[in-house]
Amino acid sequence: MPGIMRMRWCGHGGLAAMLSLAFFSAGCSSSGVPGAPSAPAAETPAASSSWGISNFFSGSSAKAPQAAGGPQPELNCPPIEVRQGASTLTVAPPGDRSTMSVRYQASFLREARQCYTSNGVMVLKVGVEGRIIVGPAGGPGQIDVPLRIAVVQETPGGMRPIVSKFIRIPTAIAGNPDGTVFSHIEDGLSFPLPTPTAALDDYIVYVGFDPQSAQAQDAEQAKPKSKPKTKAKPKPTASAN
């Protein structure tokens, strides 16, 4: 049976009320698109850029190139969810969480993923959209949205990380009272298929804001670079007469 490329998308609505975002669920649906695309190494830059975020979330059925390696078994594509506790990002001065000090507040609008298998590896393409609202202390400018995408295996025995990636999304903030929308498509996540493959039923793709990783990255980059040690020049010896 040919490989199956699946897409599942979830929507969330958001409205600005004072400084808070009021969310409502817009529901989820799933669809399957026959035909497996080629592995990421076989994609050209033009092919990658032609698949925009709008088509991704609209469930575009644009024909994808066929994957090499013969027929692939039909496998479950892990569902995607926003990580609990990481669904909202508040940007404010360190240690000050008062309402009037908030510069920006971000939330997710919708998220999607597609997956296919190739030579015993599952490859994921994950897309997210979100909105940033300007707070009382904020204004036009630019921020990096700290995004974490992770695949984990959740069983009654606990949680096991499979693959994780941290991304910073540069976003220009305008003075739009309805907020600024940011988006990102990540197609560089892959992991070996588990044995047995039925274990995929326990896999989940999580997305969430990760400001802690951004802070750690900034602190690492701010460290002064140590200068290379220079060898001391040998002292001249007095010549014997």
Strands 80-82 and 203-209: parallel
Q: What is the mean pLDDT of residues 67-73?
A: 47
Q: What is the mean pLDDT of residues 216-227?
A: 84
Burial 214-239 (b: 16+ CB within 10 A, else e): beeeeeeeeeeeeeeeeeeeeeeeee
Rounded to 5°, angle at Cα 189 from 119 and 130: 145
Lowest-confidence segment of 6-15, 18-27, 173-182 by average pLDDT: 18-27
Rounded to two decimals, the pTM is: 0.69
pLDDT digits (tens, 9 = 90+) for 107-154: 999 999 999 998 999 999 999 999 999 999 999 999 999 999 999 999
Report if residue 241 sits inside a domain: no
Partners of residue 132 on adjacent β-strands: 106, 180
Q: Which residues, including other chains, have CB under 8 Å from residue 140's CB and lie 6 or more apart?
A: 173, 174, 175
- Kindly indicate the confidence band of residue 17, based on its pLDDT and cuts at 50, 70 and 90: very low
d(CA 90, CA 135): 9
Are 94 and 45 in contact by the 8 Å Cβ rule? The answer is no
| Average pLDDT score, the chain | 74
For 48, 50, 65, 70, 148, the CA distances from 41, given in Å and listed in that order, are 11, 16, 12, 17, 23
Kindly tell me if the per-residue pLDDT of 160 is higher than 70: yes
Report if residue 240 sits inside a domain: no
Q: Specify which of 27-41, 57-71, 93-107 reaches the highest per-range mean pLDDT.
A: 93-107
Per-residue model confidence (pLDDT) at position 145? 97
Q: What is the mean pLDDT of residues 173-197?
A: 91
Report if residue 230 sits inside a domain: no
Report if residue 232 sits inside a domain: no
Per-residue model confidence (pLDDT) at position 236? 66
What is the DSSP secondary-structure string of 154-220? EETTEEEEEEEEEEEEEEEE---TT-EEEEEEEEEEEEEPPSSGGGGGGEEEEEEE-HHHHHHHHHH
Share of the chain above pLDDT 90, in %: 52
Are 36 and 63 in contact by the 8 Å Cβ rule? The answer is no
- Between 28 and 68, where is the model more confident? 68
Burial 176-204 (b: 16+ CB within 10 A, else e): eeebbebbbbbbebbeeeeeeeeebeebb
Report if residue 195 sits inside a domain: yes
Kindly tell me if the per-residue pLDDT of 177 is higher than 80: yes
Report if residue 33 sits inside a domain: yes
Report if residue 21 sits inside a domain: yes
Per-residue model confidence (pLDDT) at position 238? 61
Per-residue model confidence (pLDDT) at position 158? 93
Per-residue model confidence (pLDDT) at position 232? 64
Per-residue model confidence (pLDDT) at position 224? 84
Are 28 and 145 in contact by the 8 Å Cβ rule? The answer is no
Per-residue model confidence (pLDDT) at position 142? 93
Dihedral class, residue 221 (left if φ above 0, else alpha if ψ from -120 to 50, else beta): alpha
Kindly tell me if the per-residue pLDDT of 105 is higher than 90: yes
d(CA 208, CA 131): 13
DSSP state of 84: T
- Between 129 and 20, where is the model more confident? 129
Kindly tell me if the per-residue pLDDT of 49 is higher than 50: no
Counting every residue written for the chain, the total comes to 241
Report if residue 204 sits inside a domain: yes
Domain that holds residue 66: 4-222
Kindly tell me if the per-residue pLDDT of 179 is higher than 60: yes
Per-residue model confidence (pLDDT) at position 174? 86
The pair of three-digit structure tokens given for residue 159, joined into one six-digit string = 């949680």
Q: Specify which of 41-45, 70-74, 210-214 reaches the highest per-range mean pLDDT.
A: 210-214
Structural domains of the chain, count: 1
